[in-house]
Structure 1
């Protein structure tokens, strides 16, 4: 019998990539999404797959959660309202989705006796900690409502593991990018936003002086981490959290240089576009770099895509799939 995976937020950027990957591996996949930030076009290719089921529902509704977890062996919980600026503008909705919705999913998973609950945690949990590289056991104070919600997720998961015996693993994502990441909307992530601007021959805006750095992590590395977390039989590896990253950092200025280089292979004009610099964003941390030693040791994580390799693939995908 095929094992069944519930992927919440399965119509989103990361979720749809997980749906696609595990369908190709022969799993039965259920996608739960309310399409507030996900898109039907991300999962349209799977709709006729007999192993794929779509439930249009909301994690804030416990009934939807209970329906979605029915029969699931594993849960890969991706559903959340991302974006630090969004959480600053609307902390109540961010909390409702990311905390109350997360708790609903944990309760539904507990009651359905799901084998393992793997969830998207966040590097924002490191907050004002200045230590580099970031190690899982040392965090600072959160710098945004979003960061608070993602830290609360870790606390809830830990309590549910200890109190109810649910196996949980949190993956602290570091600036994930790649195919299907949405360049549109007020809270688009930096790479697709820059790509869209450059493809339109418009000047991208960098917040700050461009020397802020991030551990940009290609989607394929994130898929690998989800699979390892889901399937590990190492007892020491469960009921904890892991950095999910490549383990290298890139400044925004260097990112812009690379994007212009790769995109100018499609349109030479792009290499001449000037960059505009704006004010720093509230809630942003200056530097982010992950230690991935814990994941290497306990999960045998071995990321296959460097930032540059991922960027080349992502740029080609955007060139072929975005309206110019």
Structure 2
């Protein structure tokens, strides 16, 4: 099978590409390398198309000849979406539309696309279920919700099988800690190796549902293989556990012997207080079970930084 992975040189995308190749697939990657890296694909027999999903013709040509699409390319940052809402819309809404429409025109039935737990906002009840009302609080969250609505329209109107995965807080090797918009665990892991201080926005007791990248890859593969039985298929991808940032720092201290100095500062605009996935639906429909504990994932990530 020939498969297109948008954002395939990025953090999650490159892990997905490796798994697809291991399955014997032919993989084409479309990535503008704004955050993705050539080295994430080193040693992998992939066709790399350096291009931007904001360009319709680029996307149309990239989709041509493929049987399946995984749409991972995005501007993945809540704070940056607040600072640059037009860029967020161009990439995360218009870019996603280009991918969906190009797939339709090419006769591709299945697209597995990355959505986000951000669509829930600061939900009053946890764990968050796919049946809960969405409450996007940022341009990024609104864009991801628009992707889901657009996918539903394509499924209803054009007989497509577009499946959305609401990622919670994904972490693991290749997550870039140098960006101001990086995932917090990559920042903490790099600081642990460098024995440097970290900044926590808030009191450190805010919770997240951290999920290791290989488990996210498993969910993507399951979504591609699924015999679809819904017209609005969107699934949470997390562990179904809440962990606060101070607990993460303690795990890292136990694993490394390094107690990081912490500077606390005001919570950032758009940041929610708590997050946790209800994984009932993804378990029952996709037979998904996360296999890597947070502690084991942190150790793997620390080892990657060394």
Q: Structures share a fold, TM > 0.5?
A: yes
Per-residue CA deviations over 1:36-95 (Å, capped at 9, x if unaligned) read: 11111111222xx2xx21111110011111111111111110000011111111111011
Question: Are 1:30 and 2:28 matched, yes or no?
Answer: yes
Select which of 241, 247, 250 maps to 1:254: 247
Q: Match for residue 41 of structure 1?
A: 39
Question: Are 1:12 and 2:10 matched, yes or no?
Answer: yes
Give the alignment of 1:144-159 within 5 angstroms. 144-159=138-153
Question: Are 1:141 and 2:139 matched, yes or no?
Answer: no
Structure 1 distance, partners of 2:136, 2:202, is 20
Q: Match for residue 322 of structure 1?
A: none
Select which of 172, 186, 196 maps to 1:178: 172
Distance apart, 1:115 and its partner CA: 2.6
Q: Match for residue 68 of structure 2?
A: 74
- Residues 125 and 139 of structure 1 are in contact (CA less than 8 Å); yes or no, is this contact kept in structure 2? no
Select which of 308, 314, 317 maps to 2:295: 308
5+ residue gaps, structure 2, are none
Q: Structure 2 length as normaliser, TM-score?
A: 0.97
Give the alignment of 1:234-249 within 5 angstroms. 235-236=228-229, 239-249=232-242
Give the alignment of 1:104-115 within 5 angstroms. 104-115=98-109
Structure 2 distance, partners of 1:181, 1:6, is 21
Distance apart, 1:238 and its partner CA: 6.0
**SS at 2:282's partner residue?**
helix
- Residues 198 and 204 of structure 1 are in contact (CA less than 8 Å); yes or no, is this contact kept in structure 2? no
Q: Match for residue 192 of structure 2?
A: 198
Q: Structure 1 length as normaliser, TM-score?
A: 0.92
Structure 2 distance, partners of 1:178, 1:201, is 19
Structure 2 distance, partners of 1:197, 1:60, is 35
Select which of 90, 99, 102 maps to 1:96: 90
Q: Match for residue 263 of structure 1?
A: 256
**SS at 1:65's partner residue?**
helix
Distance apart, 1:236 and its partner CA: 1.6
Distance apart, 1:198 and its partner CA: 2.5
Structure 2 distance, partners of 1:238, 1:232, is 13
Structure 2 distance, partners of 1:103, 1:276, is 41
Structure 1 distance, partners of 2:107, 2:282, is 26
Structure 1 distance, partners of 2:292, 2:191, is 25
- Residues 129 and 278 of structure 2 are in contact (CA less than 8 Å); yes or no, is this contact kept in structure 1? yes
- Residues 189 and 298 of structure 2 are in contact (CA less than 8 Å); yes or no, is this contact kept in structure 1? no
Let me know the Cα RMSD of the aligned residues.
1.2
**SS at 2:98's partner residue?**
helix
Q: Match for residue 128 of structure 1?
A: 122
Distance apart, 1:237 and its partner CA: 5.2
Structure 1 distance, partners of 2:238, 2:123, is 18
Give the alignment of 1:155-234 within 5 angstroms. 155-233=149-227
Per-residue CA deviations over 1:122-148 (Å, capped at 9, x if unaligned) read: 000001321100000103421111111
5+ residue gaps, structure 1, are 265-269, 320-324
Distance apart, 1:112 and its partner CA: 0.4
Select which of 42, 51, 59 maps to 1:65: 59
Structure 1 distance, partners of 2:88, 2:197, is 31
